[in-house]
């Protein structure tokens, strides 16, 4: 069963606020927005357009989740960046921070590449589930410990194209 948690309108408003905040923090740019495939693509596309500061985009592929709802705890880089980030202002764009395992791994990898600055922007945060502490600079919404889909987030590759973020439960409708 799907139940709306965040409407497309709420998301649009919040993404605009985050874009404005990033503009203030990086007045000149360019800012390298790096989305974690595949879930963060929708957020990246909207965030980049909500910003006035010039941006460049890149993508990184990570596998940390299986097909189910729980993490495997194992993180692997499946697609690397196209270009060097040395000396660049980088914002890693994520759909949701859950246990923190994915971002802890990725931030370690990216920090070694000597960017000028390195921050995280996430649309959603489930703080109750955290196993590794990660410093998140830009958070769209803090949400309860529920499995959510839509606006890029999937369950076994389904539901990514929903405009709202919805809670997916096993209950019958």
Find the binder of Mg ion among 5, 11, 31, 39 (CB under 5 A).
39
Q: Are 149 and 166 in contact (CB under 8 A)?
A: yes
Contact stretch for Mg ion (CB under 5 A) within 3-11, 13-21, 39-47, 164-172: 39-47
Q: Which does 99 bind (CB under 5 to 8 A by kind): ligand IMP, Mg ion, none?
A: ligand IMP
Q: Under 8 Å CB-to-CB from 94, ≥6 apart: which residues?
A: 35, 36, 39, 40, 43, 102, 103, 120, 121, 122, 123
Q: Are 50 and 19 in contact (CB under 8 A)?
A: yes
If one counts every other C-beta atom within 10 angstroms of the C-beta of residue 137, the result is: 16
Residues labelled as active-site residues: 98
Closer residue to ligand IMP (CB): 118 or 153: 153
Q: Which does 97 bind (CB under 5 to 8 A by kind): ligand IMP, Mg ion, none?
A: ligand IMP
Work out whether 150 is an interface residue with Mg ion (CB under 5 A).
no
Q: Which does 98 bind (CB under 5 to 8 A by kind): Mg ion, ligand IMP, none?
A: ligand IMP
Minimum CB separation of residue 173 from Mg ion in Å reads 27
Work out whether 115 is an interface residue with Mg ion (CB under 5 A).
no
Q: What is the spatial distance between Cα 160 and Cα 101, in angstroms, rounded to a whole number? A: 22
Query: What is residue 125's three-state secondary structure?
Result: strand
């Amino acid at each position: 069963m799907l139940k709306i948690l965040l409407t497309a309108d709420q998301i649009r408003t919040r993404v605009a606020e985050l874009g404005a905040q990033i503009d203030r923090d990086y007045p000149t740019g360019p800012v390298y927005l790096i989305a974690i495939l595949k879930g963060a693509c929708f957020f990246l596309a909207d965030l980049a357009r909500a910003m006035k500061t010039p941006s460049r985009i890149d993508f990184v592929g990570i596998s940390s989740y299986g097909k189910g709802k729980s993490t495997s705890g194992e993180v692997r880089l499946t697609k690397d960046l196209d270009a060097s980030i040395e000396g660049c202002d980088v914002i890693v764009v994520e759909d949701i921070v859950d246990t923190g395992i994915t971002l802890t791994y990725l931030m370690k990898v990216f920090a070694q590449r000597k960017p000028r600055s390195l921050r995280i922007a996430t649309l959603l945060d489930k703080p109750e589930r955290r196993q590794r502490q990660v410093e998140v600079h830009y958070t769209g919404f803090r949400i309860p410990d529920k499995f959510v889909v839509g606006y890029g987030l999937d369950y076994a590759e389904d539901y990514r194209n929903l405009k709202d973020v919805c809670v997916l439960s096993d209950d019958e409708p």
